[in-house]
Structure 1
Amino acid sequence: MLHDRVLVALDRDSGERRSSAGIVIPATAAVGRRLAWAGVVAVGQHVRQVRVGDRVLFDPEDRGEVELQGRDYVLLRERDIHAVAAPRVEDGSTGLYL
């Protein structure tokens, strides 16, 4: 990975989802602009806020897709990440920061 790039793998459940009432919403349903979560697989040497293993929130419309060894990944710039869910937080913290 080079510069400020982050390679992420999309969550498997990013397609079909359920509402709080249990209604199944297909991935093709048109709902405003929806952000997506993905797990970080690799980071470039100039990435400062994200580490491998974190989950990041990003806009799926602003992404570059790449296939490596038969698996699909998304390549992002660090500045295109909206939030990070990190397991390395202190007690009493939410684990999310913007």
Structure 2
Amino acid sequence: MAAVSLSVSTVTPLGDRVFVKVAEAEEKTAGGIILPDNAKEKPQVGEIVAVGPGKRNDDGSRQAPEVKIGDKVLYSKYAGTDIKLGNDDYVLLSEKDILAVVA
């Protein structure tokens, strides 16, 4: 079996899935306490870097995704598949797991 080299440019989500670059976890609390790695919460915010073609309807047509590349989104805490590429964390989500687009 040949090895596959993954990078952001080689990942194309299928169906209604989106590929999201996870935002960096907070290093400090609001009070200024530095958090160790095991105390940091997994961020639920990220930027969309790739979008699938959309959900297929019963009649075979595609429903265009509501989000686009570059959107910053808030997603469900336990949703998707975590992927690490280089030093960056990504998550592959179904569009239905996106809760909101944030400004």
Distance verdict in 2 for CA 1:67–1:18, change over 3 Å = closer
| Unmatched 5+ stretches in structure 1 | 86-94
Pairwise CA RMSD:
2.6
Asked whether the equivalents of residues 27 and 40 of structure 2 are also in contact (C-alpha less than 8 Å), the reply is no
Residue number among 67, 77, 81 corresponding to 1:50 in the alignment: 67
Deviation digits for residues 51-90 of structure 1, max 9, x if unmatched?
Answer: 100111123422212356x4642110011011112xxxxx
After TM superposition, the score normalised by the length of structure 1 is: 0.64
- SS of residue paired to 1:6: strand
Distance verdict in 2 for CA 1:26–1:40, change over 3 Å = same
After TM superposition, the score normalised by the length of structure 2 is: 0.61
Distance verdict in 2 for CA 1:45–1:62, change over 3 Å = same
State the Cα distance separating 1:35 from its structure 2 match: 5.2
Over alpha carbons, which structure has the higher Rg?
Answer: 2
Q: How many residues align?
A: 81
Percent of residue pairs bearing the same amino acid type: 38
Aligned positions of 1:1-98 closer than 5 A: 1-11=13-23, 13-14=24-25, 16-29=26-39, 36-46=44-54, 47-66=64-83, 70=86, 72-85=89-102, 95=103
Distance verdict in 2 for CA 1:26–1:59, change over 3 Å = farther
How far apart, in 1, do the equivalents of 2:45 and 2:84 lie?
18
State the Cα distance separating 1:28 from its structure 2 match: 1.7
| Unmatched 5+ stretches in structure 2 | 1-12, 55-63
Distance verdict in 2 for CA 1:26–1:77, change over 3 Å = same
How far apart, in 2, do the equivalents of 1:36 and 1:2 lie?
22
